[in-house]
Chain A
Amino acid sequence: MNPNKESSEFAINEMPENEYKFSDLISDPRVRDRWEKVRKYFFLRESTYDMTNRCNIKCDGCYYYEGDKQFAVENKDPDAWRDLMKTEKERGITYVVLAGAEPSLVPDLNKVCYEHIPLGCIATNGLKKIDPSIGFKIHISVWGNDDTSFRIRNAKQMLLKQIENYQNDPRAIFVYTFVKNNIDEVKEVAKILADTNCKMTFNVFSAPVGYEGDLKHTKKSLAITREVMLDLIKQYPETVLFSPYNVMAHTHTYGLHDLFGCSYPRQNPSTAIGLGRSFRQYRTDLTWDRSVACCVPDTDCIDCRHYAAGSAVVTARLHRHANNPDTFQSWLDYVDTYLAVWVMGYEKERNLMNKLVAPPGHEVI
């Protein structure tokens, strides 16, 4: 599929890579303002935490119930979590991602984390409302329309329940995961979310290691996903938090690791600086293992197009994106989007770049 077809109205970048100074790249006041806006958040240092080994639904393709982490013994002691958060803060962690299996089932532990590190996010299926006093972003997973949710998650009227719990909640971001067979359903879901004043962003299913089931993307399904994403950015600019460069990065034939070089410890042996130095992925027994540490453990790295991974992996590659105006502005759009999705109070601006710009060193497809 040609991503430059007329209906999408998104052109492909053809700017050659020239020698630009960084001062040239930020000479445009709009670009400089955006750079100054996003750089204020360079202090964010994340780690992720599995809060429990329980969930109230069972989804096909769930990352949590792959690999060894699902067998970790659950630590339910708030004091142990309090101690962990204190030591995490001491070693420089400023942002926590509470995930696996279903954090809403352990409200006391969520509260302990929030009290010690007040910037963060909770990944939830949205069926049990998280106490409004916890001021983390809430990422609510959506895997198609309610018929598909019932089929692959065994949960009835899931979107309806999620909206009931989180409509008009500034914490809430509905994260629509594109799998191979739910691409068109996003149009129905996006309309419902737009009509109910909810915010959404996109994720692309990334197969767990060894997974060869029906959810896994093909080149064709990625290309179709790309078209649909671009259409929805245009159709619902107030609802959809995404940019053309997000589309590029997450629907490319190559996964994030091949495009950008994943900087999580699982793929990055260096402990000198950055994610390789500071990131940890704690299991629910409060242990961690550097060799499997990333934001979506047990994902097949070659197939990784996960939104959480991209938020760190693409953002971390500032250096290689500061080589021409289009690439740099695309990177700024990506970071602006990531901050709007992950940080309470950060509002996304209008995208600077409305072209599909190729990742450094790669083609657009």
Chain B
Amino acid sequence: MPAQIAKDDLILRIAEIIIDELKLEDVTPETFGPEIDLVDELGIDSMDLATVVLVLQDEYSMKFDEDDYPKLVNIRLIAEYILEKLE
């Protein structure tokens, strides 16, 4: 599978997890902009992010570093973080 497609799929899946876990309304994985700042624009805080991270860890069988949370400010960056760990 080409890396670009994998990344796009990953972005959609992360959006889906965020929507499900944080019970977001009025947004779908397709309309969830990957560049939207989760903290500034969506109001997500550290506990919300930790919840999402725990689910992502399960899904992709990997460990996130707690110190990396500040880097994970939008879906694209989360996707790149996961891809980097999968390499």
Contact = CB atoms under 8 A, between A and B. Distances in A.
A201 to B, nearest CB: 22
Given A42-B47, A272-B70, A273-B70, A319 B54 contact: yes
Main secondary structure on B side of the interface with A: helix
Given A39-B51, A318-B51, A319-B66, A273 B46 contact: yes
A54 interface: no
Contacts of A320: 66
Contacts, number: 52
Contacts of A315: 47
Contacts of B8: none
Contact of A270 (B50, B58, B70): B70
B43 to A, nearest CB: 6
Size range of the chain A interface in the assembly: 20 to 34
Interface string B48-87: 1111011101100000101001100100000000000000
A92 interface: yes
A141 to B, nearest CB: 28
A7 B87 CA distance: 53
Contact of A42 (B51, B54, B70): B51
Contacts of A322: 54
Nearest to B49: A273
B50 A319 contact: yes
B10 interface: no
B39 interface: yes
A129 interface: no
A315 B51 CA distance: 13
A272 B73 contact: yes
Contacts of A273: 39, 44-46, 49, 69-70, 73
Contact of B55 (A22, A270, A318, A319): A22
A188 B45 CA distance: 42
A270 B68 CA distance: 12
B54 to A, nearest CB: 4
A45 interface: yes
Contacts of B64: 319
A272 B58 contact: no
A22 B54 CA distance: 6
Interface of B: 39, 43-51, 53-55, 57-58, 64, 66, 69-70, 73
Q: Which 7 pairs of residues, A with B, have the shortest CB-CB distance?
A: A274-B46, A272-B70, A42-B47, A22-B54, A318-B50, A319-B66, A21-B58
25 contacts: A21-B57, A21-B58, A22-B57, A22-B58, A39-B51, A43-B45, A45-B45, A270-B70, A272-B39, A272-B69, A272-B70, A272-B73, A273-B39, A273-B45, A273-B46, A274-B46, A274-B69, A275-B46, A278-B45, A315-B47, A316-B47, A318-B47, A319-B53, A319-B64, A319-B66
